[in-house]
Chains A and B, each alone.
Chain A
Amino acid sequence: EAGVAQSPRYKIIEKRQSVAFWCNPISGHATLYWYQQILGQGPKLLIQFQNNGVVDDSQLPKDRFSAERLKGVDSTLKIQPAKLEDSAVYLCASSPIASGANVLTFGAGSRLTVL
């Protein structure tokens, strides 16, 4: 089966600019996650979708970050305006359905550098 697709792989922007990342999960996976991984740290959840509904966005900085999954399939994460501290890898992951055995499959990630 095809894996989790993400684009772009790399993006360099200046602070205060905007950027958008796209993710297409594994076909049939109802649950989609966006994680932020800063260098030397573990992934930190930004938002979880179940189909096209938001389950948890408590750690999403809503003044600058937004995410949507309109048709319950692919998703877009946007940052506007970007800050220096947003430099990180943005990982998209999916799982069949949230359960106790919630195994995530990650995409390759989108590396953002904010100058």
Chain B
Amino acid sequence: QKEVEQNSGPLSVPEGAIASLNCTYSDRGSQSFFWYRQYSGKSPELIMFIYSNGDKEDGRFTAQLNKASQYVSLLIRDSQPSDSATYLCAVTYYGSYIPTFGRGTSLIVHP
């Protein structure tokens, strides 16, 4: 059973701080790693994804992979109140392109 684990939170950070969200996965045959953002009552939307071969930065967002420890992180720099949402981690595995989602981490950015 392939599992994706996330701390449900909430993670509370002040405006302007760096928010660090983590996700652990159970299978070393993991291919791609996705971060989706889900506002309350809305559907998930993609923030960014990385392959198993490296990290990626996109604006205020950075996704980092630690293959040895089997976790992937999402860093949000200069956090804004509008970043307050649930962040879902998803993983696809070699041989299957179906994303398996974690339960999500709730982020609260307070002014």
Contacts and interface: CB of A to CB of B under 8 A. Distances in A.
Given A91-B43, A101-B49, A109-B43, A42 B104 contact: yes
Interface residues of B, number: 24
Interface string A93-115: 00000111111111111000000
B100 interface: yes
Given A40-B8, A42-B104, A43-B88, A102 B99 contact: yes
A103 B98 contact: no
A45 interface: yes
Contacts of A91: 43-44
Looking at B44, B96, B102, the one whose CB has the most chain A CB atoms below 10 A away is: B44
Nearest to B97: A98
B98 A42 contact: no
Nearest to A4: B43
B101 A42 contact: yes
Given A98-B97, A100-B51, A100-B92, A42 B102 contact: yes
B77 to A, nearest CB: 23
Contacts of B98: 33, 45, 48, 55-56, 98, 102
A32 to B, nearest CB: 12
Contacts of A41: 103-104
B8 A102 contact: no
Contacts of B104: 41-42
A104 B46 contact: yes
B25 interface: no
A87 to B, nearest CB: 15
A104 B97 CA distance: 11
Interface of A: 33, 35, 40-45, 48, 55-56, 91, 98-109
24 contacts: A33-B98, A35-B101, A40-B8, A40-B103, A42-B6, A42-B101, A43-B88, A45-B98, A45-B99, A45-B100, A48-B98, A55-B98, A91-B43, A98-B97, A100-B32, A100-B92, A101-B51, A104-B44, A104-B46, A104-B99, A106-B43, A106-B44, A108-B43, A109-B43
